[in-house]
Amino acid sequence: MSEPAAATVPHASAEPGILADLLDLTKARLNLLVLITTFVGYWMGAPGEIKLLRLLQAMLGTALCAASAAAFNQLWEVKVDALMARTASRPIVAGRMKKGAAFVIAIALGVIGSAWLWLAVNAISALLAASTIVIYVLIYTPLKRRTAWCTIVGAVSGAIPPLVGWVAAEPRSWIGGWVLFGVLFTWQMPHFLAIAWMYRDQYRAAGLVMLKRDDNTGFPTAATAFIFTLLLTAVTMVPFNAGQAGTSYLFGALVINSRFFLTALHFWADRSRPVARRLFFASIIYLPLILGLMVFTKA
């Protein structure tokens, strides 16, 4: 079987600039989520007064490690990215950045981020942040060509930043940090499954197994997204059940979760691209709302 033709790189993106390429290489927009979740983890974990400098150091180190993982991922998947329209204009694929330069950037970001956390915060946060690179690059990335279970592994990597923030503030007790880990882990599943279903043709053409190989109807994908939405609702109830949040949090969490729940249910009933896209955007709205609610109602 011949390989699919590489996607055409839009001419307009031929020379976007060095800064734009660096931001693209490190997936800066995705790393904004890393900054936010690390902040929430630190804020929720702090037993007393917030130490602003320590918080900023934790956020910076974690973001650098996440940027390193993103750069390594693009290095690994150059041939795959060239086969998909949504990734064909990335700097390495388009030839605007040499692989050697990208490798040096990836190494430097990972080393600096881990060392920064180790020296300025604590060893536990450094090891956790470094583990995101290992899991994302050495486990998640190669699994994408083998099994749909890769999504679970990717969700583990993406759920670590709030745990880093928590242990940066309170390294002695991780219980609340694991709750935040659970929120991020379960949230990522409907989020990424919606993306995988929207771009399933591009993923399959590129040889990526983001969905079950025999899922032609989308029913298993939508059912999985729905189940994880239910699990997400259960995890977000833990702060109230544990006495760490009051009725204002409970009411707000129920409202936010019910809207997301209905969107996931709609996707289960109608697996069309517009409905999948609606679930994707609902997930983007959901996360800052539930995390913001946690922050503002912290006991």
How far is Cα 141 from Cα 21, in angstroms, rounded to an integer? 21
Q: What is the CATH T-level fold of the domain 174-299, as seen in this structure?
A: Four Helix Bundle (Hemerythrin (Met), subunit A) (1.20.120)
Burial of 287: CB neighbours in 10 Å, binned 0-12, 13-18, 19+: buried
21 vs 124, residue with greater confidence:
124
Q: Using the predicted structure, report yes or no on whether residue 9 has a pLDDT greater than 70.
A: no
How far is Cα 62 from Cα 67, in angstroms, rounded to an integer? 9
Per DSSP, the three-state class of 155 is helix
CA-atom Rg of the chain in angstroms: 20
Other beta carbons less than 10 A from residue 186's beta carbon:
22
What does the pLDDT look like over 202-255, one tens digit per residue?
Answer: 999 888 898 888 888 989 999 999 999 999 999 999 988 877 778 899 999 999
Mean pLDDT (whole number) for 59-85? 93
Choose the most confident range, by mean pLDDT, from 18-22, 127-131, 203-207.
127-131
What does the pLDDT look like over 169-187, one tens digit per residue?
Answer: 988 888 889 999 999 999 9
Residue with tokens 């993103």: 70
Q: What are phi and psi of 94, to 5 degrees?
A: -75, -5
Q: What are phi and psi of 296, to 5 degrees?
A: -80, -15
Query: In which band, very low, low, confident or very high, does the pLDDT at 83 lie, cut at 50, 70 and 90?
Result: confident
Q: How many CA atoms lie within 13 A of 178 on its CB side?
A: 4
Query: 17-140 has which CATH code?
Result: 1.10.357.140
Per DSSP, the three-state class of 25 is helix
- Which pLDDT value is given to residue 160? 97
Residue with tokens 């298993």: 220
Q: Using the predicted structure, report yes or no on whether residue 272 has a pLDDT greater than 60.
A: yes
Same CATH topology for 17-140 and 174-299: the answer is no
Q: Using the predicted structure, report yes or no on whether residue 8 has a pLDDT greater than 50.
A: no
For residue 241, give both structure tokens. Answer: 């059940």
Q: What are phi and psi of 288, to 5 degrees?
A: -65, -30
Q: What are phi and psi of 23, to 5 degrees?
A: -65, -35
Let me know the angle formed at the C-alpha of 100 by 98 and 103, rounded to the nearest 5 degrees: 110
In the chain, where the domains are located = 17-140, 174-299
